[in-house]
């Protein structure tokens, strides 16, 4: 639905207010460790493990529930990128965890999908 005041749609409004869209457009600084045409990876500001990198699509997708068929390749690239970074950081063989939180009960704080790449310490199961 179009916003009557600004003439912009909901998606544009979400992007304007989205922290990760601001990091992608370099309006907010971050420690970027990988970038290509569709994907950006940067270090989490509040790391929960020795390795804690966020891998995000440059396209604004709010949650896993908003992924559409046209995003298939992009989502594949996200996982591939996370694996590449895990190798570069030397945690691939030891093991690492990829987490995608969706909606409040899972603790999603930023509504722009992101893979948490966590590693460098033993991961517990079940997760907290």
Please give the size of the binding site for ligand 5GP, defined by CB under 6 A: 11
**Binding piece for ligand 5GP, criterion CB under 6 A, among 2-10, 66-74, 83-91, 104-112:** 104-112
From the list 52, 114, 116, 122, the catalytic residue is 114
Regarding 46 and contact with ligand 5GP (CB under 6 A), the answer is yes
Is residue 95 near ligand 5GP by the rule CB under 6 A?
no
Minimum Å gap between C-beta 2 and Zn ion is 19
Size of the site for Zn ion (CB under 5 A): 5
Residue 4 CB, shortest distance to ligand 5GP, in Å, is 30
Backbone angles phi, psi at 23, to 5 degrees: -70, -40
User: Could you tell which of Zn ion, ligand 5GP, none binds residue 60, using a CB distance below 5 to 8 A set by kind?
Assistant: Zn ion
Distance CA 69, CA 103 (A): 21
Q: Catalytic amino acids?
A: 114
């Amino acid at each position: 639905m179009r916003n009557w005041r600004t003439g912009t749609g909901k998606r544009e409004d979400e992007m304007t207010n989205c922290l990760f869209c601001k990091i992608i457009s370099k309006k907010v600084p971050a420690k970027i460790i990988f970038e290509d045409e569709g994907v950006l990876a940067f270090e989490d500001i509040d790391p929960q493990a020795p390795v804690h990198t966020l891998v995000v699509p440059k396209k604004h997708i709010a949650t896993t529930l908003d992924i559409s068929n046209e995003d298939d390749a992009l989502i594949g690239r996200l996982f591939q990128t996370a694996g590449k970074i895990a190798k570069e950081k030397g945690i691939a063989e030891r093991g690492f965890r990829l987490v995608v939180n969706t909606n409040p009960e899972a603790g999603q704080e930023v509504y722009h999908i992101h893979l948490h790449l966590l590693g460098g310490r033993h991961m517990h199961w079940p997760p907290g």
